Amino acid sequence: MQKYVIEREISGAGKLTEDELRAISQKSCSALEKLGQGIQWVESFVTENKIYCVYYAKDKQIIKDHAMCGGFPINRIERVITMINPVTANQPEEASTKTNPVTAN
């Protein structure tokens, strides 16, 4: 499976209550159960008017299917090509040319 980042525009997302966020999470988990294999929710980041979700999925279509099943908006789906972090800055040059586990099939 590949890693994806999904952008969802939800006006006032940052003002959602814990109960509202729990309900959204439950709806998402229910949709995931219906879809079965091929998709996994990792985590989501709530901002003022958007929610950014990280998923592992076999393709973009199953992410769209999840959104339709759960009634979630999708404004953008992007496949993660690779990841970097502060440790990346200190890696030897030859280590940076090795296959990244995110992109390996």
Position 90 in a domain: yes
Position 102 in a domain: no
Residue with tokens 């496949």: 79
Position 58 in a domain: yes
What value does the mean pLDDT of the chain take? 91
Over the stretch 21-60, which tens digit does the pLDDT of each residue have? 999 999 999 999 999 999 999 999 999 999 999 999 999 9
The whole domain housing 78 covers 2-97
Position 77 in a domain: yes
Residue with tokens 């299917």: 65
The larger pLDDT score, comparing residue 23 to residue 101, is at: 23
Position 64 in a domain: yes
As for how many domains the chain has, the answer is: 1
Residue 104 has pLDDT above 80, yes or no: no
Position 92 in a domain: yes
What phi and psi values does residue 96 have, to the nearest 5 degrees?
Answer: -75, -15
Position 104 in a domain: no
CA distance 102 to 5: 13
pLDDT band at 92 (very low <50, low <70, confident <90, very high): confident
Instruction: Decide if 55 contacts 32 (C-beta within 8 A).
Output: no
CA distance 72 to 31: 10
CATH of the domain at 10: 3.30.70.3090
